[in-house]
């Protein structure tokens, strides 16, 4: 039997939210609350100025980490979902056509389903059974008729597949379309250079691979696009103007910002700038170890790219007899291992890889895990699946 330490959580749910966070993230959040507790952009007293400075520095750190030359093109959001909604609803109009991959999360699928009901044409390009999007298939779809936007994830939260978003940027631009990328599973786990990728929009979560807290995300908007803002309200300046100022990033950040969350994300970005490469090497090793171990367990189907192929540190499995929810329950109850079973808010992706009915059991690997944790989880899986 795998040795159980009931007091310990062995956390394999990084694809949902990374945990734990580096201490510098917690410290920065506490400092923001304690030393910079004013309202950012509102007022000239020292605590308000300290809050503004906290956000300014965080924006610079995130822009630097992601290769974005102009920090004002980074908008802080409540998460990847909000960023994608701003981009999708702010850029796409009735009668426009969108080409989208079949691997998308509900953060893309649901806004598009809503727009489709309001007269937007949504054409879905099916990925292969491993969850890989084929750039040639997207190119063919785009060539069929005028296209306003191509939308694709950078990496899948179900299969871990890494999508060819650099190629998709060229395909979209050659056709006069914009490329919107959902980077929720890529940032932190991959070395992402948004400038070099050429995406017009790149949205991500702060709380996954970026190692920041929940409730904060990032939205990169290139200087060449001008989406409508989703929310209007106070922007801290130009209060006499009846309409939302067009100044970035204020235009897209109406209302009081999540200063502690942004402070935490800024600290996480600075942490990753120093330790990111080392962490990615470790994640790669742990992912390969987990992948090989899972492949050796009888009755398990391992989704996504084959061993040796590139993937982000996400591995989902389906057992031929035992329900994923049951395995997740046993892993938690008997072994203190946290995983996520079900559809992962991604029914399109599960449909693509043939697991819409069963769902899957997902291991998300990241900061804080060791090879001993992987071996412990594999032993637990062998016991439950025996």
Using the rule CB under 6 A, is 79 a contact of ligand PLP?
A: yes
Taking CB under 6 A as the rule, does residue 97 contact ligand PLP? no
Closest separation between CB of residue 330 and ligand PLP, Å?
23
Residue carrying structure tokens 């917690």: 26
Q: Is 287 in the site for ligand PLP (CB under 6 A)?
A: no
Measured from the CB atom, the residue of 108 and 286 that comes closer to ligand PLP is 108
Say which DSSP state 208 is in. Answer: S
Q: How far is the CB of 106 from ligand PLP (least distance, A)?
A: 8
105 touching ligand PLP, by CB under 6 A: yes
Catalytic residue from among 80, 152, 345, 385: 345
Task: Please tell me the distance from the alpha carbon of residue 136 to that of residue 142, in angstroms, as a whole number.
Answer: 10
Closest approach of Cβ 204 to ligand PLP, in Å? Answer: 7
Residue span binding ligand PLP (CB under 6 A) among the ranges 25-33, 43-51, 74-82, 268-276:
74-82
Taken in order 210, 216, 222, 223, is the CA torsion positive or negative? negative
Specify burial of residue 370 (Cβ count, 10 A radius: 0-12, 13-18, 19+): exposed
Which of the stretches 27-35, 75-83, 91-99, 290-298 binds ligand PLP when contact is defined by CB under 6 A?
75-83
Six-digit token string for 319: 């057992």
Q: Give the residue with the Cβ less far from ligand PLP, 147 or 157.
A: 157
Of the ranges 5-13, 47-55, 109-117, 182-190, which one interacts with ligand PLP (CB under 6 A)? 182-190
Nearer to ligand PLP among residue 11 and residue 376 (C-beta): 11
Q: Is 316 in the site for ligand PLP (CB under 6 A)?
A: no
User: Which of 152, 103, 122, 160 shows the shortest CA–CA distance to 351?
Assistant: 103
Establish if 13 lies at the interface with ligand PLP (CB under 6 A). Answer: no
**DSSP H or E stretch at residue 325:** helix 324-335
Q: Which residues pair with 76 in a beta bridge?
A: 218
When asked if residue 261 is in the footprint of ligand PLP (CB under 6 A), the reply is no
Verify binding: residue 18, ligand PLP, rule CB under 6 A.
no
Which member of 29, 184, 199, 327 binds ligand PLP (CB under 6 A)?
Answer: 184
Minimum distance between the CB of residue 133 and ligand PLP, rounded to whole angstroms?
13
**Interface positions, 342-361, toward ligand PLP (CB under 6 A):** 345
Query: Which is nearer to ligand PLP, 105 or 378 (by Cβ)?
Result: 105
> Which H or E element spans position 32?
helix 23-35
Asked if 100 is part of the footprint of ligand PLP (rule: CB under 6 A), the reply reads no
Q: Is 171 helix (H, G, I), strand (E, B) or coil?
A: helix
> Please, which of residues 106-145 interact with ligand PLP by CB under 6 A?
107
Strand locations in the chain (E)? 10-11, 74-77, 97-101, 121-125, 149-153, 178-182, 201-205, 217-221, 300-302, 314-319, 337-338, 340-342, 360-364
User: Per CB under 6 A, which of residues 186..245 are in contact with ligand PLP?
Assistant: 205, 217
Q: What are phi and psi of 180, to 5 degrees?
A: -110, 125
CA triple 311-315-321, angle to 5 deg: 145
Given candidates 81, 132, 159, 259, which one binds ligand PLP under the rule CB under 6 A?
A: 81
Q: Considering CB under 6 A, how many residues would be counted as binding ligand PLP?
A: 14
User: Which of 10, 28, 36, 80 contacts ligand PLP by CB under 6 A?
Assistant: 80
Q: Would you state the structure tokens that stand for residue 124, as one six-digit string?
A: 């879905």
Q: Which of the stretches 125-133, 180-188, 194-202, 224-232 binds ligand PLP when contact is defined by CB under 6 A?
A: 180-188
Residue 236 to residue 385: CA distance in whole angstroms = 57
**Please, are residues 221 and 75 in contact by the beta-carbon 8 Å criterion?**
yes
Catalytic site includes residue 80: no
* Distance of alpha carbon 99 from the chain centroid: 20
Can you state the angle between helices 259-295 and 46-65, rounded to 10 degrees? 30
Q: Using CB under 6 A, which of 54, 85, 163, 185 touches ligand PLP?
A: 185
| 264 touches ligand PLP by CB under 6 A | no
**Spatial distance between the Cα atoms of 385 and 310, rounded to a whole number of angstroms:** 27
Strand, helix or coil for residue 75: strand
The smaller minimum CB distance to ligand PLP, of residues 54 and 81, is found at 81
Distance of CA 330 to the CA centre of its chain: 28
Active-site amino acid positions: 345
- Residues at the contact surface with ligand PLP, assessed by CB under 6 A: 16, 79-81, 105, 107, 153, 157, 182, 184-185, 205, 217, 345
């Amino acid at each position: 039997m795998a040795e159980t330490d009931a007091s310990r959580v062995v956390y394999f749910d990084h694809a949902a939210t990374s945990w734990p966070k580096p201490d510098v993230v917690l410290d920065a959040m506490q400092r923001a609350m304690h030393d910079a507790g004013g309202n950012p952009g509102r007022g000239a007293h020292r605590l308000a100025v300290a809050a503004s400075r906290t956000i300014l520095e965080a924006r610079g750190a995130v822009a630097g980490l992601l290769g974005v030359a102009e920090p004002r093109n980074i908008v802080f959001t409540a998460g990847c979902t909000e960023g994608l909604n701003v981009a999708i609803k702010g850029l796409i109009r009735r009668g426009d056509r969108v080409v989208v991959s079949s691997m998308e999360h509900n953060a893309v699928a649901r806004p598009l389903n809503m727009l489709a009901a309001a007269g937007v044409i949504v054409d879905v390009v099916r990925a292969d059974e491993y969850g890989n999007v084929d750039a040639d298939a997207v190119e063919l779809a785009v060539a069929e008729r005028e296209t306003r936007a191509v939308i694709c994830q950078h990496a899948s939260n179900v299969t871990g597949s890494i999508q060819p978003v650099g190629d998709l940027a060229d395909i979209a631009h050659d056709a006069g379309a914009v490329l919107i990328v959902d980077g929720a599973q890529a940032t932190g786990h991959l070395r992402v250079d948004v400038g070099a990728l050429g995406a017009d929009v790149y949205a991500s979560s702060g709380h996954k691979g970026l190692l920041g807290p929940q409730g904060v995300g990032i939205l990169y908007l290139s200087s060449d696009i001008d989406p409508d803002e989703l929310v209007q309200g106070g922007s801290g300046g130009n209060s006499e103007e009846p309409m939302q100022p067009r100044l970035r990033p204020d235009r897209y950040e109406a209302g009081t910002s999540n200063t502690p969350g942004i402070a935490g994300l800024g600290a996480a970005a600075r942490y990753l700038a120093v330790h990111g490469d080392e962490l990615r090497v470790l994640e790669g090793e742990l992912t390969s170890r987990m992948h090989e171990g899972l492949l050796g367990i009888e009755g398990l189907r391992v989704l996504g790219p084959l061993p040796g192929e590139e993937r982000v540190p996400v591995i989902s499995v389906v057992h031929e007899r035992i329900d994923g929810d049951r395995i997740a329950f046993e892993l938690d109850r008997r072994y203190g291992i946290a995983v996520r079973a079900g559809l992962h808010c991604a029914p399109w992706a599960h449909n693509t890889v043939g697991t819409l009915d069963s769902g899957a059991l997902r291991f998300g690997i990241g900061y804080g895990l060791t090879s001993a944790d992987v071996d412990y989880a594999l032993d637990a899986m062998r016991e439950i699946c025996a």
